[in-house]
Amino acid sequence: MMRLDTRLESCDLMLFGGVGDLSLRKLFPALYQLEAAGVLHHTTRIIAIARKDYDDHSFCTLLESSLRGYIGEDQFDEQHWISLKKRISYLRLELSDLDDYAAIKQAVATLSPTVIYYLATPPELYGTICENLHSSGSIASAGRIALEKPIGHDQKSSRVINDKVSCYFDESRIYRIDHYLGKETVQNLIALRFANNLFGSQWDQHHVDHVQITLAEQVGIEGRWGYYDQVGQMRDMVQNHLIQLLCMVAMDPPTQLTADSIRDEKLNVLRALRPITEKNVKRRTVRGQYREGKINDKACPGYLEEEGGRSNSDTETFVALRVNIDNWRWAGVPFYLRTGKRLADKVSEIIITYKSQRHYIFDPRQRAMAQNKLIIRLQPDESIRLRVVTKEQSLEQGMALQSRALDLDFSGGEQARIPDAYERLLLELMRGNPSLFVRRDEIEESWKWCDNLIDAWKRTGNQLEPYAAGSWGPESASKLISGRGREWHERLKT
């Protein structure tokens, strides 16, 4: 197999929010894996920054036990940890206090010119941190900044954040994270679509009947009620992850494999999304909230009874949408999107259902089966499967049809461990490759579309529909897709 050059340039990482959940759960385990893979530059240093009272030693003690937990004792390698630990230091800082940034300035003076300022903090602090970095003279000449989601809660507030950050970093140095873009199978979509004429030539209104994208989770709010209740599933999952996936599936071929070529095509999809307004919001959307139920035989409380919950919350934990893209490629092809918490399964899948043959000569009762399906599973068990129709093998059945899967399973074979999305994102960030990050105009266009929809919900007094934890969401989500023999694809059934 041809190996691409994975060596990184010399760069250093300043991790703001270094003791937070995201850093401990995702970023440090990803850095550990990059260390284990030997791809970090030998001079790379990592500075964790937070207000908690640690020093280098006590922070590393905390980090070691956290890494052992997330990576798993059996996978944890002492040597890799020793090498990683040598790179790490801790800086105690009040993020809003300019005086404290003298310590950052001092640290930056000893680092390489390419410093990555990774903000894993609440977004309300992004502006203040950038301003303080600038005022204290702590922005390195080739500094890059990485911003976690959510960037605002609507188009207006996202502009305020973007404007503020762009006073100190120009767009080419801003890396907005959507961790779904770092997932292996999402990246594989580009290869699948644009390196295989078989699929590339059939990716349009003439061949595709409809597209489904499901991002289903079994987890609930996990102690984040205060945050989640302000945003809901629409802002937490649709505005970013679901819409980014939609763009990756629907975009036209980029002219080149460059960041701007890809992002231009994604932006064209966002601009072609048919607005959901007061007129069509009832027919095109379903909003749900989970009630108590059971998942894997375990009782789960309803959303309102979760820790920290309020009994009168109107926040949605489930969204299903029927979306159209008004351009040549997708005219008349509906995209069905759904995402929710406390659903029956943890699965992220994209399903392309192809049209059946116009002139059909087999048993009419089997017609519905005679539709090819391309099933792209992002998680768990990353795989791409194509359901094809073949003859049933038997002497008696004549030309009876059956639907079988051609399987491309990524979890076995040569590469056993599929890298976590954050490993890829950190790697590309250190390489200075912006392709997997979201450009300002994409975020703002996506907010514009979502703002319209949320506004339509408000104006029409759209009612929340309850669903039991452990189900597939409210009944109306099935109605949204039904007709013409369509139904939601469910992993548990296939």
Contact positions vs ligand BG6 (CB under 6 A): 217, 236, 348
| Rounded-to-integer distance, Cα 268 and Cα 439, Å | 13
In the bound state with ligand BG6, the residue whose beta carbon lies nearer, of 334 and 470, is 470
- Give the integer Cα–Cα distance in Å for 456 and 276: 7
Between helix 259-272 and helix 243-250 the angle, nearest 10°, is: 100
Of residues 220 and 474, the one with the C-beta less far from ligand BG6: 220
> Residues near 453 by Cβ (< 8 Å), separated by ≥ 6?
234, 275, 276, 281, 285, 321
Non-local CB neighbours of 494 within 8 Å, separated by 6+ positions: 375
Q: How far is the CB of 63 from ligand BG6 (least distance, A)?
A: 22
206 included as an active-site residue? no
**Closest separation in Å from C-beta 464 to ligand BG6:** 18
Q: Residue 312 contacts by C-beta under 8 Å, 6 or more apart in sequence?
A: 304
Distance of CA 277 to the CA centre of its chain: 26
Q: Is 207 exposed, middle or buried (0-12, 13-18, 19+ CB in 10 A)?
A: middle
Nearer to ligand BG6, 101 or 180 (CB): 180
Work out the number of other CB atoms within 10 angstroms of the CB of residue 361. Answer: 7
* Tokens 């894997």 -> residue: 296
Q: Which is nearer to ligand BG6, 176 or 387 (CB)?
A: 176
At closest approach, how far in Å is the CB of 340 from ligand BG6? 11
What is the phi/psi pair of residue 445, to 5°?
Answer: -70, -40
Q: Which long-range contacts (CB under 8 A, 24 or more apart) does 290-294 make?
A: 290/220, 290/317, 290/318, 290/340, 290/341, 290/342, 290/466, 290/467, 290/468, 290/469, 291/466, 291/467, 291/468, 291/469, 292/468, 292/469, 293/342, 293/468, 293/469, 293/470, 293/471, 294/469, 294/470
In the complex with ligand BG6, which residue's Cβ is closer, 275 or 301?
301
- Which residue shows structure tokens 């890396």? 175
The pair of structure tokens assigned to 483 is: 């007709």
From the candidates 80, 179, 210, 241, which is the catalytic residue?
Answer: 241
CB of 70 to ligand BG6, least distance (A): 13
Q: Which helix or strand (DSSP H or E) is residue 230 part of?
A: helix 225-233
191 contacts 324 by C-beta, under 8 angstroms: no
Nearer to ligand BG6, 117 or 180 (CB): 180
Check whether the bond before 301 is cis (ω within 30° of 0): no
Cβ of residue 313: shortest distance to ligand BG6, in angstroms? 16
Cβ closest to ligand BG6, residue 217 vs residue 349: 217
* Least distance from ligand BG6 to the Cβ atom of residue 421, Å: 7
Concatenated DSSP letters of 116-141? EEEE-S-GGGHHHHHHHHHHTT---T
> Nearer Cβ to ligand BG6, position 94 or 381?
381
CB of 120 to ligand BG6, least distance (A): 12
Tokens of 99: 């005086």
Nearer of residues 163 and 381 to ligand BG6, judged by Cβ: 381
Burial profile 288-327: b = 16 or more Cβ within 10 angstroms, e = fewer: bbbbebebeeeebbbbbebeebeeebebbbbbbbbbbbee
In the complex, the smallest distance separating the C-beta of residue 452 from ligand BG6, rounded to whole angstroms, is 22
Query: What is the rounded CA–CA span in Å between residue 275 and residue 448?
Result: 9
CB of 494 to ligand BG6, least distance (A): 20
Q: Which residues are catalytic?
A: 241
